Amino acid sequence: MGEFIDVALGFPTALFTFPLIVVAGYWVLVAVGLDVLDADTGAGAGDALAAARLGGAPVIVALSSLVVVAWFASLAGSALGVPGAVTLPAALAASWLATAALVRAFRRFVPAGWAGAGDSRRDLVGRMCVIRTGRVGADFGQAEVAADDGTSALVQVRVPDSDLAVAGRAEPAALTLGSPALIFDYDAAGEFFWVMPYDAPPDPG
């Protein structure tokens, strides 16, 4: 037991021990019915994960995978006597590869998010959505869209490099957290939706 604690609190495993405790604590709270993940924090983490090509699964799931795999990999390396300078990058690489595989599986088995099983990807084209990441670009972004059964789905979205502008505005409108947008097409190869800024027309009344 003492040897295990020494390894867990030694370099490089200790770098992941505290994040592991945080992740474990979060899932304990979820298990008892509490969700303490801040929306802004989730959006910022979502941006970072998307930039690392790990977007497409719930933020907390991807972060948990990164932390857990990195901790176990570093623990195993340290226990086998592998130098920390080698163990650390190997653990980080292992956590990225494992999480990337998890994200790919999530995209495959949960096609349009995690709600609205009756909605195909094409059925979402033409619908309004709300941006759930800090920004949306040509390389990453996520949005929430309502399904016919009243549930919501989190989908991958992108905007063209041309930066589509909202009609009537002189400058392009940036899509940020909470912005309304219109889904106007689906990219089957990239498995994401093309969106554009959208302002609802004024109420005639």
User: Cα dihedral sign for 46, 50, 52, 56?
Assistant: positive
User: How much is the pLDDT for 65?
Assistant: 94
In the chain (205 residues long), the average pLDDT of successive 10-residue segments reads 80 93 86 57 65 76 93 93 93 94 76 45 86 84 79 83 47 75 87 83 46
Task: Pick the closest to residue 156 from 119, 198, 111 (CA basis).
Answer: 111
- For residues 123 and 145, is the Cβ–Cβ distance under 8 A? no
Q: Is the dihedral of CA 146, 149, 150, 155 positive or negative?
A: negative
Tell me the pTM. 0.57
The C-alpha atoms of residue 137 and residue 141 are separated, in whole angstroms, by: 6
The predicted pLDDT at position 34 comes to 61
| Residue 57 near residue 97, CB atoms below 8 Å | no
CB-CB contact of 179 with 186 (8 Å): no
**In the structure encoding, which two tokens stand for residue 55, read together?**
């977007």
How far, in Å, CA of 131 to CA of 157, rounded? 9
Q: What is the pLDDT of residue 15?
A: 94
Residue 180, CA atoms < 13 Å, CB-side half-sphere = 9
pLDDT of residue 121: 73
Indicate the residue type of 120: S
Domains of the chain plus CATH, in order, are 2-109 (no CATH), 122-197 (2.40.50.140)
